[in-house]
Amino acid sequence: MLSRLLKAKIHRAVVTQAELHYEGSCAIDGVLLDLAGIREYEEIHIWNVTNGKRFTTYAIRGEENSGIISVNGGAAHQADIGDLVIIATFGDFTVTEADAHKPRLVYANPNNTVNHTANCIPVQVA
């Protein structure tokens, strides 16, 4: 049996472009993409913290150190420039793999540079 777990997350990135007429996808700064371990053309979930919308697309590599987070194609209707987003991927793991799995978490600064990385989410307190 496989369990679907969070594989990677880029937390609180800021949308820099919304290109309605670009060919689909989401361009992500190559540095963020690599640190998170998100592959080009991999399915990604985007959760818009600003407006609450959630949608799925695929990742494409943006210029390294550019800070680009460009939501493209029809998905551009779901995000505006300046919106805070969380970008996540999931993977299927066997029980043994799941027991050892640690997600790759990248926390972004407001200019989409890396604030810090982690491999676990802190326990939420009451």
What residues act catalytically? 25, 58
d(CA 19, CA 13): 17
Question: Would the CA dihedral through 97, 29, 42, 3 be positive or negative?
Answer: positive
Q: Which amino acid is at 51?
A: N
Q: Which amino acid is at 115?
A: N
Residue 84, H or E segment: strand 84-93
d(CA 119, CA 89): 14
Contact 71, 16 (CB under 8 A): no
